[in-house]
Structures are given as C-alpha cells and as structure tokens.
Amino acid sequence: MAMLSSPVMLIQAIPPVTRYFTAATVVGSSVYAWLQWKGIDLHPAYLLLVPGSSIFYPWTFVTSALVEVSIFELLTTLLLVPASLRYLERLWGSIETLKFIVVCVGVSNIIAFAMNWIEFIATSNADLFLYGMEYRGQMALQIAVLVAFTQLIPEHQVQVLGVFKARVKSMPMAMLTLSTVLCLLGFQCPWIIIQFGWFVSWIYLRFYKKNSGDSVGGTDSYGDRSETFSLISWFPPFMHGPLSILGNFVYHYANRFHLIPATVDIENAGYVPVPGGARAEAERRRALALKALDQRLAAGSGASSPVPGPSQSPRPPVLAKSAESSTSSSSSSPATVSRGHDRQNSKNVSEVDLGDTGKPKTESR
C-alpha cells in the first residue's frame, strides 16, 4: 500500500501551479502530436501563435506555450521548467508564480506578433512573416526562470549531464547568445522568442513583481532595484556607458509618466520615492559603511606616521652621544670617571643644537 501511495503523495507534494501547468503542457503536446499522427486538418492557429491568424484567436498568446511540437522540445521543457517553477512557487507563492508565467509568455508572444507584422509591412511578404512562422513552446519561460535564478542565486553552480559546469548568472546570456546566432542564420521562429523572454522577465522582476515580504510603513515594495540586477550588469564593461545613458533616459520618462511602481525610502517611513527597494537600500548602507571605514583607516594611518615638512630637519643625536659617553665612563676607575665627567660637561656646553626655529641654542645638563 505504501508503494502504491507514494506516487500520489509525490504528486500532491508539488505546488499547485507547477503541478497543473506541467500537466497542461503534457496534455497539450500530446493532443497536438495525436492530431498530427491522425492527419486531422486542424487549423494551427487554434493551438499555435500564427501572426496572420492569431488576432482572431487571442487565447493562443498564452496557450501556445502548452504545445511542444517535437519530443526533444518536450523533454527539454519537462527537464527544466517544472523543477524551476517548483522552487519559485515555494519562494514566491502560487499567485506570483502564475503571474510570472502569464506575463513572461504572453508579453513575449505579443512582441513577436508585433515584430512579424512590422516585418510584413516593410517587406510585403505575408507568406513568410504572417503565415510562415508558428510560435509555440516554452523557450520564453525557460530563459525567464534562468533570469529569476540569476536574481535569487547568481553564484550557484549548475552541473549539466555531469560534464558541463556553469554558474547560474552566466546561463541566461549563453542562451541569449545562442538565440542571436540562430536568428542571424535565418531561424527567427521560434528562437527570437528567447530574446523577448529575457527582456520581459528582467523588466517584470526589476520593476513590477510585488515583494510581499518587504513591506515598508504598510506600503508594498515592487521589483529589485539593486545594482547587481541592473541592466548593465548583463553586459561587458565597454557597453556600460551607452546602456547607462539609454537606460536612465527610459527610466526617467517611465517614472515621470507613472509607468513603473514607485518605491519608498525606508529611513523616511515610506513617504519619499527613491530609485531602490529594500535590497537596494541594504546595498547603499553597506557601501556607505565601507566608505566610512576606509576614511577612518586612512585618517588613523596618517596620524600615526606624520611626515616631516621640507622646512624641518632632523635633530642631531646629541643626547645619544652623551648617553654613550656616560655609559663608557661608568666602567672606568673613580678618578677617571671624575675627569671624564668634567670633560663631558665642557663638551656639552660647547655643542649647539639647531632646533625647529633654526636658531642655535646651547645644550645644558
């Protein structure tokens, strides 16, 4: 009985959104494969996103992600997505995970749909750009969960098939590079959806995702405004300058027209908008603390070892010579000590010491 109940208990242990979404993916892909095998002529726009027809079937902007047209794509999806969604759902909750799926898949498909129509207007090639491309599958969601992991566990190391090792933060850009190369080679559909999925997931996690655990003064915080999750952190240093200018320009006007949620200042009880959330505030405080510590260390080292100015000159070691003479005379006979002491006194009177003022002064004992 325990052996029979264990699969049921294992399925029940999976969070609900992950469980139902995985089941829907298996069912949708199986139905599509069965229709193809039976040769049933079902219009693909009912299941897949076809730019020329899907405007009349709006549900395909989301449900097309539930259809994988090949066994290799289905196995890749089942290997990566359910385990990732299970981790995110336990961390975020079911509602936020469902919103993340719908936004990343739906908005990415909308962008792909609009791009194909722009290409059709520019080239008048409807057979290629309106009816020759069918977007499906979960490539956008796959890179979206990698972006989420980059935000949560960027330094975690992943081992693929026991051979390849990579850090989580390097995997989205590797997948994005593969997508760019394949698009340049002419495989726009469905590989370009990876680029849209990366950008949409970053924008959502950066500005719009509700952080239920970070409430400041009774006000919910949104997004992750930390420097480690900024746009320029995804690119090499030589691109930081132009991207910073472009990003600041877009952010300024998006904030001006209230297109993104405003965050609140922790130190002012949530009344002053600032460009950062709880994580950004923690990083800012840590940076200020490190700066103050560096200043204190620099001030302490400067006070402990002062450097003499150019007008100052080192004092001649008169006292040291006197001490040496006194030490050597103490080992002589009494008569010799007395004569040596008189000679030492006369020597000390005749020697002069140049002080800090530059005037000669007589050393006396």
Q: What angle do CA 236, 241, 245 make, to 5 degrees?
A: 130
pLDDT of 311 higher than 70: no
Residues in the chain: 365
277 Cβ contact list (under 8 Å, min separation 6): 211, 214, 221, 222, 223, 224, 225, 226, 263
Beta bridge partners of 361: 353
**Tokens linked to 224:** 């992750």
pLDDT of residue 47: 87
219 Cβ contact list (under 8 Å, min separation 6): 264, 270
Is the Cβ–Cβ distance between 14 and 51 less than 8 Å? no
Mean pLDDT of 50-70: 91
In a domain? residue 276: yes
For residues 73 and 134, what is the distance between their CA atoms, to the nearest angstrom?
A: 15
In a domain? residue 332: no
pLDDT tens digit sequence for 334-348: 444 444 445 444 444
Report the chain's mean pLDDT, rounded to a whole number: 77
pLDDT tens digit sequence for 115-145: 999 999 999 999 999 998 999 999 999 999 9
In a domain? residue 170: no
Count of domains for the chain: 1
In a domain? residue 250: yes
DSSP 8-state code for residue 204: I
In a domain? residue 226: yes
Kindly tell me the burial class for residue 197, based on how many C-beta atoms sit within 10 Å of its own C-beta (0-12, 13-18, 19 or more).
Answer: buried
For residues 120 and 58, what is the distance between their CA atoms, to the nearest angstrom?
A: 20
In a domain? residue 59: no
**Domain ranges, residue 247:** 220-294
In a domain? residue 40: no
In a domain? residue 324: no
